[in-house]
């Protein structure tokens, strides 16, 4: 199985990438990045996309690796009002990928649907008319991305999943992490390894849910980690 990931160099994307690599049922990982990376694992292919705003210049060789993936995880984004990173780039990438997949005989022969997984946020707002107390523009923008992503997946007969973690605790077993978990409990926070294990499993096995909230990810992530994922 081949999994592609955008955003593997970030703190959250890096955790997801780490857990994708751990899976025995994933034999190929395509890391799509803007800068070269030093990764020696034989199963990892690093492809460079210098400008996500100019996907027409991406080489045929690069698209050949990406378009045959069984799933793609989009974990790139910012916390500010960067419309390109948080809206335009992921939607444009989906459109270009769909065009490339039309030329992929490998995907046509597969029985399972291609999966597109979007790393969203807990407070994104899909209702564009709703009045919001904090970060209204950022939340509406990412909420609109969620809506458009699910709509586009349906038009392409893809399986799309939007995961909405709350506070992601990268430190795992540090004292600070344990304090935050005690204060906010599992409905407001998730450990990086729990999120990574969950998203990696989602890329492989899918889910009946299109939008997945924090608590479900925590419970499933803990179970997967206990099982050695």
The residue ranking higher by pLDDT, 151 or 180, is 151
Q: What is 88-117 written as a DSSP string?
A: IHHHHHHHHHHHHHTT-HHHHT-SSPPEEE
Question: 107, exposed or middle or buried, with CB in 10 Å at 0-12, 13-18, 19+?
Answer: middle
How confident is the model over 51-65, as a mean pLDDT?
93
The residue ranking higher by pLDDT, 144 or 167, is 144
| Assigned CATH topology for domain 2-226 | Rossmann fold (3.40.50)
pLDDT by residue (tens digit) across 184-209?
555 688 999 999 999 999 999 999 99
DSSP 3-state of 157: coil
174 has pLDDT over 60? no
Which pLDDT score, from 0 to 100, does residue 135 have?
A: 84
Token pair, residue 187, equals 């409905």
How confident is the model over 4-11, as a mean pLDDT?
94
Which pLDDT score, from 0 to 100, does residue 105 have?
A: 65
Which pLDDT band, with edges at 50, 70 and 90, does 43 fall under?
very high
pLDDT by residue (tens digit) across 101-148?
887 766 667 778 999 999 998 888 888 888 888 888 888 999 999 999
Which pLDDT score, from 0 to 100, does residue 187 have?
A: 65
How confident is the model over 45-62, as a mean pLDDT?
93
How confident is the model over 153-173, as a mean pLDDT?
88
The residue ranking higher by pLDDT, 41 or 19, is 19
Which pLDDT score, from 0 to 100, does residue 151 have?
A: 97
Q: How many C-alpha atoms does 42 have within 13 Å on its Cβ side?
A: 1
Cα distance between residue 99 and residue 144, in whole Å: 22
Cα distance between residue 168 and residue 143, in whole Å: 19
H or E element in which residue 79 lies: none
pTM strictly above 0.85: yes
Which pLDDT score, from 0 to 100, does residue 183 have?
A: 53
**In the chain, what are the domain boundaries?**
2-226
DSSP 3-state of 1: coil
The residue ranking higher by pLDDT, 179 or 99, is 99
Which pLDDT score, from 0 to 100, does residue 218 have?
A: 94
Which pLDDT band, with edges at 50, 70 and 90, does 182 fall under?
low
């Amino acid at each position: 199985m081949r999994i592609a990931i955008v955003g593997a160099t970030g703190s959250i994307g890096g955790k997801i990438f780490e857990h994708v690599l751990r899976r025995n049922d994933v034999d190929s990982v395509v890391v799509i990045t803007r800068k070269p990376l030093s990764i020696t694992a034989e199963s990892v292919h690093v492809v460079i996309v210098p400008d996500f705003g100019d996907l027409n210049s991406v080489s045929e060789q690069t698209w050949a690796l990406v378009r045959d993936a069984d799933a793609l995880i989009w974990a790139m984004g910012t916390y500010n009002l960067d419309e390109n990173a948080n809206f335009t780039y992921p939607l444009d990438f989906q459109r270009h990928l769909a065009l490339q997949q039309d030329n992929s005989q490998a995907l046509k022969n597969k029985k399972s649907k291609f999966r597109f997984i979007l790393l969203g946020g807990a407070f994104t707002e899909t209702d564009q008319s709703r009045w919001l107390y904090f970060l209204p523009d950022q939340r509406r923008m990412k909420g609109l991305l969620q809506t458009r992503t699910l709509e586009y997946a349906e038009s392409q007969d893809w399986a799309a999943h939007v995961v909405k973690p709350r506070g992601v605790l990268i430190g795992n077993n540090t004292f600070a992490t344990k304090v935050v978990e005690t204060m906010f409990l599992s409905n407001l926070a998730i450990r990086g390894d729990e999120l990574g294990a969950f998203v990696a499993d989602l890329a492989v096995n899918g889910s009946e849910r299109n939008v997945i909230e924090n608590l479900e990810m925590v419970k499933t992530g803990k179970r997967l980690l206990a099982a050695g994922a």
